Amino acid sequence: MRHPRAEPETEASIYRLVLWNIDLTLVDVTRVTREAYPEAFRTVTGRRLTQLPQLAGRSESEIFFEALAVNGVDVSDLGTSEQLLAPFSSELSTAMAARRGDLVTKGYAMPGAHEALTAVAQLDGVVQTVLTGTSKPNALLKLRAFGLEQYFDFGVGGYGSESYPKGALVRVARQRAAEKYGTETADGDSVYIADSARDVDAARMGGAACAAVASGRSTAAELRQAGADAVLPDLTDPAQVVAAVERLTRH
């Protein structure tokens, strides 16, 4: 099998950056996340979480800041919202790690995830990484639980604990990969595979194409309306996934 993170060997080699969303694209561990979130929130704020904001297509930082607002947390005696983000991300990682065993009993890898990642890894000059709303420790935890971590270069990914809007994070990840692999960022070199209309918007803002998978909360029609460059029903047809990546990463 071609190494999934092989660097293009010459300037003439094809360079393809494939950014993968994690939750509801590659794995579904929603139940575990919903159990861990209130625990981390209460530890950091001292307040009970009574309302959890919508998770789909959003970064960890966005969700946390909204959770503070909708749960009426006055942060004036705790510092600032931004100062609380790092402790919260750390506590959420701790709460998720404590539930490591629950990931495989209460969650699952999305159908076709293994096969799709393996097939994409065969493409010439491909680099696969993650662009996710979750933090890096939780991204590793979720993917390792289902044996998916081997396909990714986590060093060039984008993570939700970083204080960037998701669209800006796409651009940041593209730049990280370009610097590491000795290329220039260009139109047609990157594709974001994700499952929500918000992710479609993020890809556009970040200068990447979007292959949207109707495996999350957004329907295929909603993904098309949002402007996805390709819409897949799921990941169960590896050839279909590869064809979308090839088409959308031609310079």
Angle, helices 113-120/238-248, rounded to nearest 10 degrees = 40
Q: Is the same domain home to 53 and 137?
A: no
Expressed as residue numbers, the domain containing 41 is 30-105
CATH of the domain at 113: 3.40.50.1000
Q: pTM to 2 decimals?
A: 0.89
Dihedral sign for Cα atoms in the order 43, 46, 47, 51: negative
Shared-domain flag, residues 79 and 118: no
Same domain as 58, residue 96: yes
Q: Are residues 162 and 218 in the same domain?
A: yes
Residue 88 lies in a domain: yes
Residue 199 is assigned to a structural domain of this protein: yes
Identify whether 86 is part of a domain. yes
Task: With cut-offs at 50, 70 and 90, classify the pLDDT of residue 251.
Answer: low
Which residue, 45, 71, 105, sits at the end of a domain? Answer: 105
Read off the pLDDT of each residue in 106-119 and give the average, rounded to a whole number. Answer: 98
In 3-state terms, what secondary structure has residue 23?
strand
Confidence check: pLDDT of 154 > 90: yes
Mean pLDDT across the stretch 37-41? 93
Domain match, 205 and 131 both: yes
Q: Are residues 62 and 124 both part of a single domain? A: no
Are residues 96 and 122 both part of a single domain? no
Q: Do 192 and 211 fall into the same domain?
A: yes
**Average of per-residue pLDDT across 43-69:** 84
Q: Is residue 79 situated within a structural domain?
A: yes
The whole-angstrom distance between residue 34's C-alpha and the CA centroid of its chain comes to 17
Mean pLDDT over residues 150-166, rounded? 90
Q: Tokens representing 71?
A: 């749960």
pLDDT in tens, 205-239: 999 999 999 999 899 999 999 999 999 999 999 99
Q: 7 lies in a domain?
A: no
Q: For the residues of 45-96, what is the DSSP string, one character each? A: HSS----PPP-TT--HHHHHHHHHHHTT--GGGT--HHHHHHHHHHHHHHHH
Rounded CA-CA distance 139/98 in Å is: 15
Averaged over 80-106, what is the pLDDT? 92
Average pLDDT over residues 22-43: 94
- What pLDDT does residue 7 have? 46
Is the pLDDT reported for residue 35 higher than 90? Answer: yes
pLDDT in the model for residue 160: 86
Q: 11 in a domain, yes or no?
A: no
Is the domain of 143 the same as that of 84?
no
Listed residue (225, 198, 200) closest to 212, CA to CA: 200
